[in-house]
Amino acid sequence: MPYDLSLFDLITPYLLRGDSFGAWHAALSTLLVREHEIAVDEAGVVIRGSVSFEGTVRPYLDLSRMTMGIEAENTEGHPANDASRRAPWIDIRDSKIDFELVVPRVASQKVSTAVAAIGPAPGFANTAAVFGAYDTDPLDAPPSDYPSTAFVLDLLLVAIVLRPPFLRGAKREADGQLVPDPAHEQVSFTLPRIKVRLSQGSGANDPLVATLVSLGATGLDDPGDFGVAELIKMDPPYAFIGSSNCVGFGFRSAVLDLSDGSTPPDVLEQFGFDESWKGLYLPEIRLFVAPEGARDFAVDAGARNLLIGFGDDGITGGLRSHRAQSGRRAAQARGALL
């Protein structure tokens, strides 16, 4: 490509002067288009390609607020710098991002309304004539070559990392106890592909809408499973929950639910939550409990069906079954997980 092209450059023709992408604006401007191809037919225009972040910015995707941002825009606004935050955020600095921009050949009501309003103004005659040449009647049925403000932009992010702020990295000592891991304080989950969508209609009052399309989609054409994804791995493999060292865990597999309208069936059946529940569901884990004040006493147990809900209102949890294995510190105490 003989010149630098940002993803924002591809989309900006479909915004009117003075409009912006709000909280998404800065991040879209720092996404450099690596490659793209264009297809055109009577229905509209489709642009596909791949982009990546440039420079030293720290981009993130905040699914709880459906916004994409960068630290260079506002250092204090980055989720990593918010000590009170409870909802997780996604680190996308090293992500590979594929995109598809679909623009229908539909005349914009915003543009046609503006042209009708300022048409008689001096100096606007030439511009109005150009619009008329595109389509003499922008209100007729599509397709139309009249300016359009409608589009759908899908972003498929690969190799993304979820960083829950309420977990702290831990490691297992030779005697079996769980202790903080100062070398890996922040816990991260590597996720499957995630697909998000920015869309805008052609109506005069149609807003810009950001939605989570799927977690675990195999490609741009795959709708995937809305809001629910199996986690690939946790780094480090053990973690403490909350600010104390009382409860920690390690796991083989887990399910992440970030959707308001979809919840894993096992969670619905066993815990009684509704479709709006969000959090981590761990079907089988290793659980470590060290009660406050009980020096040299800890419990190490295999457990099933651990639920960790999260959101801005705090953390919720649940446990439906267990099988105690051993609890061991200096006193070599044993106990059952209650």
Helix H or strand E encompassing 60: strand 59-62
Are the C-beta atoms of residues 28 and 54 closer than 8 Å to each other? Answer: no
The model's pLDDT over 55-95, given as tens digits with 9 standing for 90+, comes to: 677 788 887 778 888 875 555 556 666 666 666 677 777 67
* pTM over 0.75, yes/no: no
- The mean predicted confidence, pLDDT, of the chain is 77
The residue extents of the domains of the chain are 7-106+148-326
The model's pLDDT over 100-158, given as tens digits with 9 standing for 90+, comes to: 999 998 888 888 888 888 877 888 888 888 888 888 888 888 888 888 888 999 999 88
Strand positions, DSSP E, 150-204: 151-158, 161-163, 167-172, 178-180, 188-190, 194-200
Select the highest-mean-pLDDT range: 79-83, 222-226, 249-253.
249-253
DSSP class per residue in 207-236? PPEEEEEEES-SSTT---BTTEEE--EEES
Query: Of residues 239 and 141, which shows the higher confidence score?
Result: 239
pLDDT at 227: 57
Query: Of residues 264 and 307, which shows the higher confidence score?
Result: 307
Q: What is the DSSP letter of 331?
A: T
Amino acid identity, position 30: T
pLDDT at 321: 53
Share of the chain above pLDDT 90, in %: 10
pLDDT at 336: 29
In this predicted structure, the answer to whether residue 328 has a pLDDT above a threshold of 70 is no
In this predicted structure, the answer to whether residue 337 has a pLDDT above a threshold of 80 is no
pLDDT at 279: 78
Between 6-10, 31-35, 68-72, 207-211, the lowest mean confidence (pLDDT) is in: 68-72
In this predicted structure, the answer to whether residue 50 has a pLDDT above a threshold of 60 is yes
Count of alpha carbons within 13 angstroms of residue 73, beta-carbon side: 18
pLDDT at 203: 82
Query: Of residues 106 and 54, which shows the higher confidence score?
Result: 106
